Each structure stands twice: as C-alpha cells, then as structure tokens.
Amino acid sequence: MSHDVGEAQARRSSARRSRSGLRRAPSPTTLRWALAAVAIGAVVAAGITFLLTGGAPERDKLQTGRDGANGAMAGAAFGTAQPGDCLSWTESDYSDLSKVDCGKAHLFEVAANIDLNNYPGTEFGSDAAYPGEIRMGELNLEHCLPAAQRYLNGHLDPHGKFRVGMINPGKAGWSAGERTLRCGIQASGVSGHQRPITGTVASQDQSNIFEPGTCKLPHAFEVASTVDLGRYFSVPPTAEEQDKFMTGACDRDVAKYLGSPGALRNKTLTTFWDQIDPDSWLGGSHLLNCWIGKGGDQAYAPIEGSAKGDILINGKRPVPPPPLPAGRNYN
C-alpha cells in the first residue's frame, strides 16, 4: 500500500456522494479543506500561482528558482528552449537544467516564451531591479496562464493534475540583462517537489486521480479504483448522471477490491467519490476515483492498515453490524 499525503490539491467545490448502510461521508467542503490544510498549511490559495517550487508554503519559496540559479545562469537549455520542448533537472539549484525527450520523464513542458523587453516602461528596463517573487507570481498569472491555455487550444483542466509554471531569469540572470520568461506546464506536488511527467500534456488525461491502494490524509481514506467516465459519456454528464453511474461502478469495484460484497459493511466503512465539473471535462479530465473511508458528519476517522486486511478505526477494531435480513443486499 502506498502513502501519498502531500499532493492532494484543494479544487473548486463540487458535489460528492457516498454509499454506506451506516454513515454518510463529510461534505465536499469539509473534505477538500481538510486536504488543503494538510497539504499546504497556511498558504492562502487565492493570490499567487505556485511556480517552479511546486507550492512550498514558505514565502521565500514562492518564486521560480533560487536567486541566480536558473535562467541565464542555467546555460543553453534555458536560452534556447522553445514551446514544445521539455526540460528536466536533478540539482536543487537547477544548475543541470537540460532539454529531454518529452516521451521520457521530465519536469516542465515549455508553452511560451515571454520577452519582457517588448513591454514599454521602466519596470523591465536595463537598469531595473529584479521584480521579486511576488511580482513574478503576478507575471505568471498575467502572461503564462493565458499562454498555456493557447498552447493547449483551451484544453487545460483548471482543477486537474497540471499547473501553469514559469522559469524566470533569477536575480543573477536579470542583472546580466536576461528578460525572457519561460512559461510552461508542470505537475507540482505541494511538498515543494515536482512530480515527473512522461509524454506531452496534450496527450494525457488531466484528472487529478491516484493509484488504487493510495491512502490520503494519513490515513483517513483509501483509493479502491479508477473509473473512466469518458468510456460511457460523449458529453459532460450531469451531477445526477455521474452519481447514478458511480453508484454501481463503485459498488462493484469496492467489492472486488475488498474481496467480497459484505466486506465494506462489516468493516463499517463508506464508499464515496468526487464529480467532474464541466470545465474539467472539456479540459480533458474524465477519470474519477472510488474511495473508501470512515466518514462522519464533520471529519474522517483515522484508519490503521489497508481496508483490504485487518484495520483499526480510531485505534479500535471495527465491530461488524448485525447480519442483514434474508433477501437484502449490501447496497
């Protein structure tokens, strides 16, 4: 069983449904803000797009690279990168930033180059001081976000697994006269590290999903399966259509994942799922996870162990409820 506690992202609120003969899961607002609190701590989620550092919460990390460590100081890869190129690095100061085949693991796909020399005024002039991290964040929103949308022909899921990022010259590069911003797309975890991407963004489903067996909010709920709604719907399904379909799909998948139809009930657990917003669907995201957890009205109870085996809920073994009457099923 894998554990991934740092990469869940707070997305725009949408309906979430649960299946259980015992208790309903918490509201979507409760769940998503719980995810956000664990993932990003005190970061305010409205003002600044997370850049190359992947959303690290400290103010001094809200930038696109350490001072003088990228941009003009990173060598030819930065200076010659063009839209469609893929970049990667292993050093924390990006000193080995290089172009790689997009079919191989990489950290950044270039969407556009923005030459600030083309913008009149003194802010970006030859004698201008480095704008600072906050201003760079604003430039990312002003220039890179629309550039990335154009690059993907409008097919960027605003709630998906990819984020718009920017590599700027850094202080040293800026002082050397470099004024080019590299706008691109990345898969950022909130732990401060990039998630590798294999293949171009345009060739992938952008759903922010996790592999079966992944445990979140350690450990409050567990992924049982991934369902591809794109196989069954040709247009964005309504919330009601998604719930109706996911009810049957998750019942089947969870029973298979746990080994029997009655296991979920006997372990006093809950099945639930998210929904896909229309703008996410049109952005290319068609996948949903079926989750298992112990949902209450306000929070998820901590679970020890995988739902596939013996578990503890709030430190205690679950007590199976009385058997169902003859002729009743587990749904």
Please state the domain extents for the chain: 17-41+205-313, 59-189
Q: Stretch 46-54: mean pLDDT, rounded?
A: 31
CB-based burial label for 23 (10 Å; 0-12, 13-18, 19+): middle
Q: Stretch 290-307: mean pLDDT, rounded?
A: 81
Query: What percentage of the chain exceeds 70 in pLDDT?
Result: 71
> Strands (DSSP E) along the chain, which ranges?
17-19, 86-88, 98-100, 108-115, 163-167, 180-188, 194-195, 215-216, 221-228, 270-273, 287-293, 303-304, 312-313
| pLDDT tens digit sequence for 63-99 | 333 333 344 444 666 778 899 999 998 887 777 889 9
Q: Which residues pair with 108 in a beta bridge?
A: 87
How confident is the model at residue 71, as a pLDDT? 43
- The three-class DSSP label of residue 198 is coil
The whole-angstrom separation of Cα 156 and Cα 165 is 13
Using left for φ > 0, alpha for ψ between -120 and 50, and beta otherwise, residue 17 falls in beta
CB atoms within 10 A of CB 265: 19
Examine the pLDDT at 203 and tell me if it is beyond 80: yes
Examine the pLDDT at 51 and tell me if it is beyond 50: no
Q: Which two tokens stand for residue 309?
A: 């085996």
Examine the pLDDT at 318 and tell me if it is beyond 60: yes
Whether the model clears a pTM of 0.85, i.e. scores above it, the answer is no
Mode of pairing for the β-strands spanning 86-88 and 98-100: antiparallel
